[in-house]
Amino acid sequence: MFYDMIRWEEKALVEAAKRKNIDLRLEDARERFFDVTGNDLPDLGDIILQRCVSFFRSIHLTAFLEEKGYKVVNGFHQSIVSGNKLYTSLALVKNGIPTPRTMLSFTSEASFKALDKMGYPAVLKPTMGSWGRLLAMLKDNESAESIFEDRESMYPLYQVYYLQERVKRPPRDIRSFVIGDRVVAAIYRVSNGHWKTNTALGAKAENCPITKELEDLSLRAARAIGEGIYGVDCMESPEGLQVHEVNSTIEFKNTVPATGVDIPGMIMDYLSDKAAR
Q: Which is nearer to another protein, 128 or 137 (CB)?
A: 128
For residue 50, the 8-state DSSP code is B
Q: Which is nearer to another protein, 120 or 158 (CB)?
A: 158
Q: Which is nearer to another protein, 2 or 148 (CB)?
A: 2
Q: Minimal CA–CA distance to 201: which of 128, 133, 121? A: 133
Sign of CA dihedral 84, 87, 90, 96: negative
| DSSP result, 96-141 | T-----EEEESSHHHHHHHHHHH-SSEEEE-SS--TTTT-EEE-SH
Minimum CB separation from another protein for residue 274, in Å? Answer: 20
Q: Minimal CA–CA distance to 2: which of 181, 254, 13? A: 13
Minimum CB separation from another protein for residue 212, in Å? Answer: 26
Minimum CB separation from another protein for residue 192, in Å? Answer: 19
* Beta-strand pair 204-207/229-237: unpaired
Contact residues for another protein, defined by CB under 8 A: 3-7, 10-11, 14, 26, 28, 53-57, 128-131, 133, 231, 247-251
Minimum CB separation from another protein for residue 232, in Å? Answer: 11
Q: Which is nearer to another protein, 4 or 103 (CB)?
A: 4
